[in-house]
Structure 1
């Protein structure tokens, strides 16, 4: 079988490289940075923060795939619900319980659209694709409840106006977030530990990893002459690399705020903003090793509009800190802010679904993977499912070019 090249060493690229190697292909993984991981990297040093709040979702396809290969490693769940200090910002004040309308929608979601181990099932009563979430949810639970539900769902959307997105798109994510018991799980030590296990597994399968090796358009042409290529980069990078102006899709624009505080008894676990999209979580509640002894690590995300300044998101973060972490200014030992613009995954407007995003198949033996392409799933699950599909198609193409048989069932 011919060589398969994977460009990009994030979750999509590692999934593609492992899948292709398990099918018997010779695989080279090209990563422009010195380290693998993409947006699944974790900061070095005593404060181990991911690039924005990250979680694995237990019932998703990525979870199953990792578990079968013994790649999950140690994971932790949210603290016990009976001791969970959840706070909701409503009308500018901290509340211990969400609006009744939000609970009604969560219960209705659980009844009408169960989740299986693969893709989310769709029933006749799920939200429509063609309507916006705000209008649909208002008809279900009223205007105030719809606004709260949209802002709560923004945790998995990273978008400044979640109510304007497709009702189906938002509702599927709301259901996953509101499921009980919670689906969210956290790799101990941060997502970099998961990346390390995936990279070691890839190398064990014979994948050649070339880190610090950027691939430009000319180099891509050279690689494509030796076998199929999987481009597993951001959509912006893929657009430049493939010189294809059609590779666009809407994403979010989000201020990321990470900080460490000296520990104080009684601090919240999560503060969810129901007045505007925003979320702040104390990750050391489930994984104390992410910060030095006596400190706790917080990570938050605050979506802002296309013309807003980063300071607007930072100010909203401080509002939530005031509500959930009294005296946080005097207790802060470390703080980092960043703006994630167009790199928080795809969002779908009314009338669109994941099938309308840029196709995995680009022609001439080139395939696309990442979190903004035509593949199902929640957040990083899109990178996984697209990486899996791109790899299987590349293996099939390599088999045709070499005239060899390909056993796709090995994956």
Structure 2
């Protein structure tokens, strides 16, 4: 009996976007090969090996996002930690040079506005100032940086920032954390992809576009630009100083310190997941966006000033530390007059599709990667006349 070969889709990049695309394609019957240049999967969701289970900067999964339901339906969520209620009294706000227990009331009022009520073509600071005054507007802009990784959130589209402010300030909090680090989630996704027949090759750098069927490029835009030779692929993400710190446990340490005087965030991740560090130790992670005229050291200096306030004696208690600078790896941002639809399209023509956190797909943080991964796979399936080419929530495949 003669058999017909399965239609093939290639995925380049094994982060959240690439794994989501590979799973979506394989569930619809395509033969999928996934290539990852690193020796392990995960991209920016990769969890470090060793006693301190860190990621590339602070990570959170918003449980009202579309990818939460996608993962849940497939049994891939696994154990998730919530922000600890018992730590609520130690959520601190750095405002006017001091730590405070509460944010400005104007920030809380701004956070109640729906994103669709904020204009696309006006910057957030102007729009927010008209409603609650300049001080509350600046504080709200800086608070929203937890979901932006940008040095000047107030200069961005009001609609774009407001969506992130509203969700980052939601009560009860939307943020959830995979127990054991994001690598646990990646392992579950990779295992499920393997059960569907996805062939994965790690430590495999792809320098030319494969020709055997549709190709989904799920890498950074810089890597996609090199692979595709397309100089139009430029992102709008900024530069962010990242700090990872392990300290001996001390009563009274803050859970979160949100900088309202400038964009910045420190979080004690072991408060919700003690497994991230050895017993008796706490793991802190923070991100501090830096502007064009600043260095990574400038961002780290701001982090240390917050540490002095929220974690007394941290220098003497430090057991391990890592500083780094993330450049162009923090997701796209939308300036006034633009939306996610103005980012590089998923469909690049000639059977090539993009996925990642800087492409034309809606969502907050990792939701962009998930949504674009599903969208890219759906378009590739349509090209092969396979079922499953459905539009993910909020994305019209006709214009992707």
With the length of structure 1 as denominator, give the TM-score of the two structures. Answer: 0.92
Name stretches of at least 5 consecutive residues in structure 1 with no aligned partner.
114-121, 400-404
**Contact 1:147–1:274, Cα closer than 8 Å, also in 2:** yes
Give the secondary-structure state (helix, strand or coil) at the position aligned to 1:343: coil
In the other structure, the counterpart of 1:235 is 221
Equivalent residue for 1:246, pick from 232, 238, 241: 232
1:198 aligns with 2:189: yes
Deviation per CA, 1:97-149: give whole Å up to 9, x if none: 1112112212x32xx45xxxxxxxx3xxx100000000000001100000000
For 2:287 and 2:277, how far apart are their aligned partners in 1?
19
Give the secondary-structure state (helix, strand or coil) at the position aligned to 2:331: strand
| Offset of residue 410 of structure 1 | 12
1:162 aligns with 2:164: no
In the other structure, the counterpart of 1:256 is 242
**Contact 1:7–1:31, Cα closer than 8 Å, also in 2:** yes
Deviation per CA, 1:199-236: give whole Å up to 9, x if none: 0000000000011110002xx1xx22x10000000000
Q: 1:83 to 1:308 in 2, by over 3 A?
A: closer
In the other structure, the counterpart of 1:71 is 76
Give the secondary-structure state (helix, strand or coil) at the position aligned to 1:277: coil
| Offset of residue 84 of structure 1 | 3.6
In the other structure, the counterpart of 2:320 is 334
In the other structure, the counterpart of 1:128 is 119
| Offset of residue 398 of structure 1 | 1.9
Aligned pairs, how many? Answer: 387
**Contact 1:359–1:373, Cα closer than 8 Å, also in 2:** yes
Task: Report matched runs for 1:203-242 at 5 Å.
Answer: 203-217=194-208, 220=209, 223-224=210-211, 226-242=212-228
Q: 1:296 to 1:407 in 2, by over 3 A?
A: closer
In the other structure, the counterpart of 2:166 is 175
**Contact 1:257–1:338, Cα closer than 8 Å, also in 2:** yes
1:147 aligns with 2:138: yes
Deviation per CA, 1:155-178: give whole Å up to 9, x if none: 111000100000000000000001
**Contact 1:23–1:410, Cα closer than 8 Å, also in 2:** no
| Offset of residue 306 of structure 1 | 1.6
| Offset of residue 42 of structure 1 | 0.9
Equivalent residue for 1:55, pick from 48, 56, 60: 60
| Offset of residue 91 of structure 1 | 0.9
| Offset of residue 44 of structure 1 | 0.6
Equivalent residue for 1:388, pick from 369, 374, 398: 374
| Offset of residue 409 of structure 1 | 6.5
**Contact 1:134–1:147, Cα closer than 8 Å, also in 2:** yes
Equivalent residue for 2:305, pick from 312, 319, 330: 319
| Offset of residue 407 of structure 1 | 4.5
**Contact 2:34–2:199, Cα closer than 8 Å, also in 1:** yes
For 2:261 and 2:279, how far apart are their aligned partners in 1?
34
| Offset of residue 83 of structure 1 | 4.0
Deviation per CA, 1:45-98: give whole Å up to 9, x if none: 001111100000000001010000000000010011674411111111111111
Give the secondary-structure state (helix, strand or coil) at the position aligned to 1:258: strand
In the other structure, the counterpart of 1:119 is none
**Contact 2:377–2:389, Cα closer than 8 Å, also in 1:** no
Equivalent residue for 1:359, pick from 340, 345, 350: 345
In the other structure, the counterpart of 1:348 is 334
